[in-house]
Amino acid sequence: MKKFNIILILFISSIFLLLSGCSSIKYETSRDRIIVSPNKSYSLTLRYDNVSRPFIFKDGELIYEYKGSGFTETVYFNIKWISDDEILLYLESPQKEKYSKEEYHIKLKK
Protein backbone atom coordinates (compact mmCIF):
# COMPACT_ATOMS: atom_id res chain seq x y z
CA MET A 1 0.00 0.00 0.00
CA LYS A 2 2.87 2.37 0.83
CA LYS A 3 4.44 1.74 -2.59
CA PHE A 4 1.11 2.54 -4.30
CA ASN A 5 0.83 5.87 -2.42
CA ILE A 6 4.35 6.88 -3.44
CA ILE A 7 3.65 6.05 -7.10
CA LEU A 8 0.35 7.97 -6.95
CA ILE A 9 2.05 11.05 -5.45
CA LEU A 10 4.78 10.93 -8.12
CA PHE A 11 2.18 10.59 -10.87
CA ILE A 12 0.07 13.51 -9.61
CA SER A 13 3.19 15.65 -9.16
CA SER A 14 4.30 14.96 -12.73
CA ILE A 15 0.84 15.94 -14.03
CA PHE A 16 1.04 19.26 -12.16
CA LEU A 17 4.51 19.92 -13.55
CA LEU A 18 3.33 19.24 -17.10
CA LEU A 19 0.30 21.51 -16.69
CA SER A 20 2.35 24.35 -15.23
CA GLY A 21 4.70 24.17 -18.22
CA CYS A 22 1.81 24.54 -20.68
CA SER A 23 0.95 28.00 -19.41
CA SER A 24 4.33 29.35 -20.52
CA ILE A 25 3.21 29.17 -24.18
CA LYS A 26 1.83 32.66 -24.62
CA TYR A 27 1.99 33.57 -28.29
CA GLU A 28 0.95 31.81 -31.46
CA THR A 29 3.78 32.83 -33.78
CA SER A 30 2.45 31.02 -36.86
CA ARG A 31 0.18 34.02 -37.58
CA ASP A 32 2.81 36.73 -37.05
CA ARG A 33 2.52 39.68 -39.38
CA ILE A 34 5.27 42.25 -39.89
CA ILE A 35 4.19 45.77 -40.82
CA VAL A 36 6.78 48.35 -41.92
CA SER A 37 6.34 52.04 -40.98
CA PRO A 38 5.53 54.53 -43.78
CA ASN A 39 9.04 56.02 -43.68
CA LYS A 40 10.53 52.49 -43.44
CA SER A 41 12.53 53.37 -40.32
CA TYR A 42 11.14 50.51 -38.18
CA SER A 43 8.67 47.64 -38.24
CA LEU A 44 5.92 46.33 -36.01
CA THR A 45 5.04 42.70 -35.39
CA LEU A 46 1.37 41.85 -34.92
CA ARG A 47 1.15 38.63 -32.92
CA TYR A 48 -1.75 36.69 -31.36
CA ASP A 49 -2.19 34.42 -28.39
CA ASN A 50 -4.22 31.20 -28.38
CA VAL A 51 -7.55 33.09 -28.06
CA SER A 52 -6.79 35.57 -30.87
CA ARG A 53 -5.93 38.54 -28.66
CA PRO A 54 -3.56 40.84 -30.57
CA PHE A 55 -0.18 41.97 -29.25
CA ILE A 56 2.05 44.50 -31.00
CA PHE A 57 5.83 44.49 -30.74
CA LYS A 58 8.23 47.20 -31.90
CA ASP A 59 11.85 46.10 -32.17
CA GLY A 60 11.09 43.04 -30.02
CA GLU A 61 9.51 45.11 -27.21
CA LEU A 62 5.83 44.68 -26.36
CA ILE A 63 4.11 48.04 -26.95
CA TYR A 64 0.44 47.02 -26.97
CA GLU A 65 -1.49 44.23 -25.27
CA TYR A 66 -5.20 43.61 -25.87
CA LYS A 67 -6.97 43.69 -22.50
CA GLY A 68 -10.19 41.93 -23.56
CA SER A 69 -11.13 38.35 -22.76
CA GLY A 70 -10.29 36.98 -26.21
CA PHE A 71 -12.38 35.41 -28.93
CA THR A 72 -14.06 32.01 -29.31
CA GLU A 73 -12.88 31.64 -32.92
CA THR A 74 -9.86 32.72 -34.93
CA VAL A 75 -10.07 36.42 -35.76
CA TYR A 76 -7.64 38.74 -37.50
CA PHE A 77 -6.71 42.33 -36.80
CA ASN A 78 -5.11 44.79 -39.16
CA ILE A 79 -3.04 47.94 -38.69
CA LYS A 80 -3.59 51.22 -40.50
CA TRP A 81 -0.92 53.90 -40.22
CA ILE A 82 -2.29 57.29 -39.20
CA SER A 83 1.17 58.86 -38.94
CA ASP A 84 4.73 57.63 -38.31
CA ASP A 85 4.01 57.41 -34.58
CA GLU A 86 0.31 56.54 -34.47
CA ILE A 87 -1.62 53.50 -35.70
CA LEU A 88 -5.17 52.22 -35.77
CA LEU A 89 -5.61 48.57 -34.80
CA TYR A 90 -8.93 47.20 -36.04
CA LEU A 91 -10.74 43.90 -36.36
CA GLU A 92 -10.69 42.62 -39.93
CA SER A 93 -12.39 39.24 -39.91
CA PRO A 94 -15.52 37.65 -41.28
CA GLN A 95 -16.67 37.36 -37.63
CA LYS A 96 -16.50 41.13 -36.99
CA GLU A 97 -20.31 41.46 -36.99
CA LYS A 98 -20.35 39.29 -33.84
CA TYR A 99 -18.32 41.80 -31.87
CA SER A 100 -18.64 45.43 -30.93
CA LYS A 101 -16.54 47.89 -32.87
CA GLU A 102 -13.01 46.72 -32.18
CA GLU A 103 -10.78 49.71 -33.02
CA TYR A 104 -7.89 51.05 -30.99
CA HIS A 105 -5.77 54.17 -31.58
CA ILE A 106 -2.25 53.46 -30.41
CA LYS A 107 0.46 56.10 -30.00
CA LEU A 108 3.92 54.65 -30.57
CA LYS A 109 6.93 55.62 -28.47
CA LYS A 110 9.82 57.11 -30.39
Are 93 and 76 in contact, with CB atoms under 8 Å apart? Answer: yes
What residue ranges do the domains of the chain occupy?
26-107
How many percent of the chain have pLDDT more than 70?
84
- What Rg value do the Cα atoms of the chain yield, rounded? 20
Measured between alpha carbons, how far is residue 56 from residues 4, 17, 19, 49, 60 in Å?
A: 50, 30, 27, 11, 9
pTM of the model: 0.71
- Rounded to the nearest integer, the mean pLDDT of the chain is 84
At residue 18, the pLDDT reads 62
Q: Residue 94's pLDDT band (boundaries 50, 70, 90)?
A: low
Q: Which residues of 57-73 are buried (b: 16+ CB within 10 A; e: fewer)?
A: beeeeebbebeeeebee
At residue 34, the pLDDT reads 94
At residue 54, the pLDDT reads 94
At residue 70, the pLDDT reads 85
Name the nearest CA neighbour of 86 among 62, 57, 109.
109
CA distance 12 to 107: 47
* pLDDT 10s digits, 16-44: 766 655 545 588 888 999 999 898 888 99
